Structure 1
Amino acid sequence: MTFGFTPPPSADPASRLGRMLEPSEWAAAGIPLLRNPREVVTGLHSRHLPTPSTAVVAVLDPEERLTASASFSRTGAAAADGWEFRNALLTQLRRVIPHDLRRRTPVRTAVLLYCRDGESQWTQEDGAWMWGLRDACTLHGLRCGAYITLTREGWQILGEGRSGRRPHSASLRTALDITATGDGKAAPLSQPHSGAHDALSHSAAV
């Protein structure tokens, strides 16, 4: 018996549009609401200190306690593709936590925080991240949780309308300015280590 390799999906624009979710599709998917979104957002921000183009995927237990998390950066100007985002998220999940595929019903929930430039409104890139998160959760035996954007306007849970002004995408720069020493050098802040990996650089934390 021989096993072949499944070719990657088509990269043409029409196919990529099929690998993203509109806000209405996301809202209709029954994504569980976070009980304390501000606490989740501030906790992930302080742990990973994301800058624009950084994604933070986190796994929460039924009590909404952080079980594991990983951050990685999207680099390059390639068009957003949910299939590539799915693979990147799945790689990070496999690195930081065992799958729950043996459970009949998912117990743990994965949420995604993406720090980016631009306005807070939904973009096609957001739609691709939503598609990727939903698919990665299915393949790892997790419930698909909230998708959160972090922009200069603050944070926002797309599909829910809940938002806040802090933290925002420039919070790290603000923190560096506030903690600058008298000689003009910034005091050291803990940041996740990054390493190059194709078009994505990544780091993980538990």
Structure 2
Amino acid sequence: MAFGTASPPSADSVTRLSRLLEPAEWVASGVPPLRSPREVVRGLYARHRPAPSTAVAAVFHSDDRLAASASFARPAMRTSATDGWELRNALLSQLRLVIPHDLRRRTPARTAVLLYCREGEAHWTEEDGAWMWALRDACTLHGLRCGAYITLTAAGWHILGEGRSGRYPRSSARPAAPIGFGGGAPEAHRHTAAR
């Protein structure tokens, strides 16, 4: 009897797979739950009107006031697979544009939350795992506390790792113009709240 041997995974694929978080890893990392998830989701949706493949990064003060937020299109991947590294770089560049880092603080005072509007079902996907890794790493590099990861699909919103969800708002097939902009949706929409 002969046994075939499977070729070992490439170093690149192993590295890429390590740059995503499974739901159990996300829960174990101790991400603080949102106090008012419905208000957070509705507020970010009203401010940015994300279409599918749009991410909204938001930073909140310790008293839950919005400090700053930015919406941006999901970056095009260099390979066919989603890589948390590239998502992290895109997210970090947006955070750097809207709010100064808190790296001099001993403990993070502000919390970053990521809302990702996408097509498909509300359950966890590898792309979600890559975004979770990206959010956690970007927060570390910017001196922020890692907050909730929220998906927005046609079924509504869902906070992964917490199990909380709602039917409205939900993603739409047509992008709407963000509040404060005329015409079509811009490539990136940034908002800095009063500090």
CA distance in 2, matches of 1:135, 1:162: 24
Unaligned stretches of 5+ residues in structure 2: 1-9
Q: Secondary structure at the match of 1:12?
A: helix
Query: Could you tell me which amino acid in structure 2 is paired with residue 190 of structure 1?
Result: I
Query: Could you tell me which amino acid in structure 1 is paired with residue 189 of structure 2?
Result: S
Q: Does the C-alpha gap of structure 1 residues 48 and 11 become closer, same or farther in structure 2, counting only changes over 3 Å? A: farther
Determine whether 1:194 maps to 2:194: no
- 1:205 CA displacement: 1.6
1:179 aligns with none
1:81 aligns with 83
- 1:80 CA displacement: 1.0
Q: CA-atom RMSD, angstroms?
A: 2.0
Moved more, 13-22 or 140-149: 13-22
**Contact residue 153 and residue 171 of structure 2 kept, 8 A:** yes
Unaligned stretches of 5+ residues in structure 1: 1-9, 177-187, 196-201
**Contact residue 49 and residue 172 of structure 1 kept, 8 A:** no
1:183 aligns with none
1:93 aligns with 95
CA distance in 1, matches of 2:22, 2:13: 16
Q: Does the C-alpha gap of structure 1 residues 60 and 11 become closer, same or farther in structure 2, counting only changes over 3 Å? A: farther
- For each residue in 1:128-169, what CA deviation from the matched residue of structure 2 results, as whole angstroms up to 9, or x when unmatched? 000000000000000000000000110000000000000001
**Contact residue 74 and residue 87 of structure 2 kept, 8 A:** no
CA distance in 2, matches of 1:160, 1:93: 24
For 1:146-185, list aligned pairs within 5 A. 146-170=148-172
Determine whether 1:32 maps to 2:18: no
TM-score normalized with structure 1 length? 0.81
Q: Runs of at least 4 residues of structure 1 off by over 3 A?
A: 75-78, 188-193
CA distance in 2, matches of 1:189, 1:133: 23
- For each residue in 1:19-73, what CA deviation from the matched residue of structure 2 results, as whole angstroms up to 9, or x when unmatched? 0000000001100111000000000000000000000000000111100000001
**Contact residue 75 and residue 86 of structure 2 kept, 8 A:** no
1:126 aligns with 128
- 1:12 CA displacement: 2.7
Q: Secondary structure at the match of 2:113?
A: strand
- For each residue in 1:86-126, what CA deviation from the matched residue of structure 2 results, as whole angstroms up to 9, or x when unmatched? 11111000000000000001010000000000000100000
**Contact residue 55 and residue 112 of structure 1 kept, 8 A:** yes
CA distance in 1, matches of 2:178, 2:148: 28
